[in-house]
Amino acid sequence: MTLQEYDYARESPSKLAASCLLLALTMKNLGGWTPTLEYYSGYRSQDLHPLVKRLNFLLTYQPHDKLKAVRTKYSHRVFFEVAKLTPMDMLKLEEILKSC
């Protein structure tokens, strides 16, 4: 979805990918940012928090009537219907990120 948003073009692809992974881990309650993830990504959890919040905001307030291709594609069971996942509550996300 970030490919369709000009604001994310200035982010490094590796930081964007790491932030997406951290958001996904948080959304699915699969744990936080481990030392192994930090080592191989090169990013500390705290470095990713602002971008994670922006990504969750994008998921929460993305207009559903425009640019539907990505949402439609990832709503299919082949992709585990990840586009249908409910975005996290911003306050809950903030609380979880503070603890990691």
Given a contact cutoff of 8 angstroms between Cβ atoms, the answer to whether 90 and 56 are in contact is yes
- DSSP-assigned letter for residue 86: P
- Which domains occur in the chain, in start order? 2-99 (1.10.472.10)
Q: Maximum Cα–Cα distance for the chain, whole Å?
A: 40
Type and span of the H or E element at 46:
helix 45-61
10 Å Cβ neighbour count for 41? 19
Tokens 């996300």 sit at which residue?
93
What is the tens place of the pLDDT at every residue in 81-97?
888 888 999 999 999 99
pLDDT of the residue at 44: 96
Indicate the average pLDDT of the chain: 90
- DSSP-assigned letter for residue 65: S
What is the tens place of the pLDDT at every residue in 44-73?
999 999 999 999 999 888 766 677 888 889
pLDDT of the residue at 64: 66
pTM to 2 decimals?
A: 0.86
